[in-house]
């Protein structure tokens, strides 16, 4: 579902409006823990808190990434808006230019938002396409990237469903098969190419079908890996084209961002709201 910048500006003209949204999402439907009253809260002036008639106070920013942040809450919301409404993401440098905050602050905000984008780890089911990809840390040398000098990304994509991407230490069978067992249910049918690390899947109880890319075989009826390959195409365009460089220790965070957008691309709830729903721990 689309959520435009015009709608954003109308809904969140001030930081108080953002605070009230967090209150409504996380606390408005819950009774006071002290007296049990449901509708006895009011916003305190000049403080990011709501107080019940009994005197109990609740701080909506507590246990969220926004807690004790010196950055305006609306700026946080604006960062979430752009990260959930741009197909290939937005760099911290670009957000710095738009928002007027420092690059360091923009980078920190984006990092925290990516952490909120991590999925709930429920098992993938039905038809799941699996594939590995290699990311070179230097965009200028990506055309020469080889498994031994690149970061390994492992993708598991449900057809018409979710994507789960893992930054793994290698593409060996002892790494990939355990990841499959942790993330894909035994009722799923797994589609891959004929890479050797997948040869044990049938022994592990999975229905497994393959296409042979080395023989120019890409689609055989319903057997293909086009969805996960399309995901890699989008992911690499974003990393190399938008972010330019990604430190390997943060690569999983970027993977969370792209997987989140893919998984929720058909959701009727705007992705902006889905992220904020996960903001409270």
What does the block give as tokens for 254? 């970027």
Q: Tell me, yes or no, whether 140 and 246 share the same domain.
A: yes
* Residue 277 counted as domain residue: no
The pLDDT, as a whole number, for residue 120 is: 85
Distance CA 204, CA 237 (A): 34
The pLDDT, as a whole number, for residue 139 is: 56
What does the block give as tokens for 90? 């937005």
The pLDDT, as a whole number, for residue 87 is: 83
Q: Tell me, yes or no, whether 54 and 133 share the same domain.
A: no
pLDDT band at 47 (very low <50, low <70, confident <90, very high): very high
Q: Tell me, yes or no, whether 34 and 140 share the same domain.
A: no
* Residue 257 counted as domain residue: no
pLDDT band at 148 (very low <50, low <70, confident <90, very high): low
Last residue of a domain, one of 15, 36, 62: 62
* Residue 29 counted as domain residue: yes
pLDDT at 1 over 80: no
* Residue 86 counted as domain residue: no
pLDDT at 140 over 80: no
Please give the average per-residue pLDDT across 164-178, as a whole number. 96
Distance set, CA 28 to CA 84, 167, 225 (Å)? 25, 38, 45
* Mean pLDDT taken over the chain: 92
The pLDDT, as a whole number, for residue 38 is: 86
* Residue 188 counted as domain residue: yes
Query: Strand 151-158 to strand 163-168: parallel, antiparallel, or no bridges (unpaired)?
Result: antiparallel
Write the pLDDT tens digit of every residue in 123-132.
999 999 999 9
pLDDT at 144 over 60: no
* Residue 193 counted as domain residue: yes
pLDDT at 121 over 90: no
The pLDDT, as a whole number, for residue 46 is: 87
Write the pLDDT tens digit of every residue in 55-72.
999 999 999 999 999 999
Q: Tell me, yes or no, whether 33 and 144 share the same domain.
A: no
CA 15 and chain centroid, separation: 24
* Residue 275 counted as domain residue: no
The pLDDT, as a whole number, for residue 281 is: 72
Longest alpha-carbon distance in the chain: 73
Distance set, CA 161 to CA 108, 124, 239 (Å)? 30, 9, 22
3-class secondary structure per residue, 229-259: HHHHHHHHHHHHHHHCCCCHHHHHHHHHHHH
DSSP 31: -
Domain containing 218 equals 127-251
Q: In CATH, what number is assigned to the domain containing residue 218?
A: 3.30.420.10
pLDDT at 109 over 80: yes
**Sequence-distant contacts of 248-255: CB under 8 A, at least 24 apart:** 248/137, 248/151, 248/167, 250/111, 251/135, 251/151, 251/153, 251/167, 252/166, 252/167, 253/111, 253/114, 253/115, 254/89, 254/114, 255/153, 255/165, 255/166, 255/167
Please give the average per-residue pLDDT across 180-203, as a whole number. 96
Q: Tell me, yes or no, whether 58 and 153 share the same domain.
A: no
Q: Tell me, yes or no, whether 227 and 147 share the same domain.
A: yes
Write the pLDDT tens digit of every residue in 68-101.
999 999 999 999 999 999 888 899 999 999 999 9
The pLDDT, as a whole number, for residue 246 is: 82
Write the pLDDT tens digit of every residue in 15-42.
999 999 999 999 988 999 899 888 889 9
Write the pLDDT tens digit of every residue in 218-253.
899 999 999 999 999 999 988 888 887 788 899 999
Q: Tell me, yes or no, whether 229 and 152 share the same domain.
A: yes
- Our count of domains for the chain comes to 2
Distance CA 179, CA 154 (A): 9
Last residue of a domain, one of 16, 31, 62: 62
> Using CB atoms within 10 A of its CB, is residue 238 exposed (0-12), middle (13-18) or buried (19+)?
buried
* Residue 75 counted as domain residue: no
pLDDT at 146 over 70: no
pLDDT band at 141 (very low <50, low <70, confident <90, very high): low
Q: Tell me, yes or no, whether 134 and 222 share the same domain.
A: yes
Block residue for tokens 């699996």: 130
């Amino acid at each position: 579902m689309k959520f435009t910048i015009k709608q954003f500006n109308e809904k969140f003209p001030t930081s108080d409006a953002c605070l009230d949204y967090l209150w409504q999402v996380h606390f408005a439907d819950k009774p006071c823990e002290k007296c049990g009253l449901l509708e006895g809260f009011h916003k305190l002036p000049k403080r990011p808190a709501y107080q019940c008639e009994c005197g109990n106070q609740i701080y909506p920013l507590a246990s969220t990434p926004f807690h004790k942040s010196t950055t305006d809450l609306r700026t946080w919301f604006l960062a979430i808006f752009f990260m959930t409404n741009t197909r290939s993401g937005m760099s911290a440098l670009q957000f710095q230019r738009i928002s007027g905050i420092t690059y360091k602050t923009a980078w920190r905000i984006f990092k925290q938002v990516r952490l909120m984008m991590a999925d709930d780890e429920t098992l993938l089911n039905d038809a799941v396409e699996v594939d590995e990809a290699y990311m070179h840390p230097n965009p200028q040398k990506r055309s020469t990237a080889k498994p031994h000098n690149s970061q390994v990304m492992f993708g598991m994509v449900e057809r018409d469903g979710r994507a789960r991407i893992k930054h793994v230490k290698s593409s060996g069978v002892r790494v990939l098969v355990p990841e499959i067992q942790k993330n894909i249910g035994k009722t799923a049918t797994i589609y891959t190419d004929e890479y050797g690390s997948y040869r044990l899947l049938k022994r592990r109880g999975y229905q497994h079908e393959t296409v042979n890319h080395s023989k120019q075989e890409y689609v055989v009826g319903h057997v293909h890996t086009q969805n996960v390959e399309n995901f890699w195409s989008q992911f690499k365009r974003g990393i190399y084209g938008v972010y330019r460089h990604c430190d390997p220790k943060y690569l999983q965070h970027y993977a969370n961002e792209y997987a989140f957008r893919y998984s929720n691309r058909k959701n009727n709830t705007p992705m902006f709201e889905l992220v904020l729903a996960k903001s409270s721990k």
